[in-house]
Amino acid sequence: MNMRILILGDLVGRTGRDAAVAALPGLRAQTKADCVVVNAENASHGFGLAPDMADALFAAGADAITLGNHAWDRREIIPYIAKEPRLIRPLNFPPGTPGNGASIIPLKDGRKVLVAQLMGRLFMDPLDDPFRLMEELLVRNKMGVNCHAALVDFHGEATSEKMAFAHNFDGRVSAVVGTHTHIPTADHQVLPGGTGFTADLGMCGDYDSVIGMAKEASIYKFVKKMPGERLAPAEGPATICGAFIEVNDKGLTVRIEPVRVGGRLLPAMPAV
């Protein structure tokens, strides 16, 4: 039996967070999703994630939550992540960092999904090599052995790095989906080896903005090149952006399509 996975891009601020929490039960039912993953590293006023927000997303139907470069912006998440394996930070953070960079997520039907997050190094923090660490992870975790599917959230700026990573692991993971840039790409595809790919899922947030943040302060920084007011999330109607992925019994993707609901962007919803 094929597995259906719904993954949502970066939640930005209250508008993105509230929209995702409200929509998740219906989206899960509409897509008949067996597994739901959400990136929530920008959920708390654009910077980080608070424990009560994680609890709300799990209660709404998320099976796993991924983070990114803003993982520690809300410091109270540190003790929470240390005991919550469903909350996943980048695998290539330094050794000894609290939490997990990958987890085997048990589903209600008894199947298991490996969810991993790696962070890119082009135009990002100088972290450990994501390619090497993913190779090491796959030595310990193989589809058909201890998991039925493997999903990678690659959190990075450069589409070239995301594409290279996906091609390198084509056929060995179910899907590689990009997060971080907040702009949905139109390159959803199944690679030759059976790995689903898209360079960026987009965000769940207000697109009448600058990547989710209020326009005025963002424009000021570009025009004046001087410190201005602190960036804050835009608070208009959110578009929920993500991807729908269908995986066969070998763990390989047979279909990947965009999901866009509400707000300003052209809607997209897979037929199930």
Domains of the chain and CATH, by start: 3-261 (3.60.21.10)
Sequence-distant (≥ 6) Cβ neighbours of residue 121 within 8 angstroms: 127, 129, 130, 156, 161
> Could you give the percent of the chain with pLDDT greater than 70?
100
Confidence of residue 156 (pLDDT cuts 50, 70, 90): very high
Confidence of residue 179 (pLDDT cuts 50, 70, 90): very high
Entry pTM: 0.96
155 is catalytic: no
Confidence of residue 100 (pLDDT cuts 50, 70, 90): very high
Confidence of residue 230 (pLDDT cuts 50, 70, 90): confident
Sequence-distant (≥ 6) Cβ neighbours of residue 153 within 8 angstroms: 7, 37, 39, 66, 88, 115, 116, 117, 118, 177, 179
Confidence of residue 225 (pLDDT cuts 50, 70, 90): confident
Would you state the pLDDT for residue 191? 98
38 pLDDT more than 90: yes
Residue 166, sorted as left (phi over 0), alpha (psi -120 to 50) or beta, turns out to be: alpha
Q: Which is the catalytic residue, given 70, 180, 182, 188?
A: 70
Query: What is the average pLDDT value for the chain, to the nearest integer?
Result: 96
Would you state the pLDDT for residue 255? 98
No. of helices (H) and no. of strands (E), the chain = 6, 14
Would you state the pLDDT for residue 174? 98
For range 135-153, the mean pLDDT: 96
Pairing of strands 149-155, 175-179: parallel
For range 241-262, the mean pLDDT: 98
Instruction: Please report, as a single letter, which amino acid is at residue 255.
Output: R
Rounded CA separation 169/155 (Å): 16
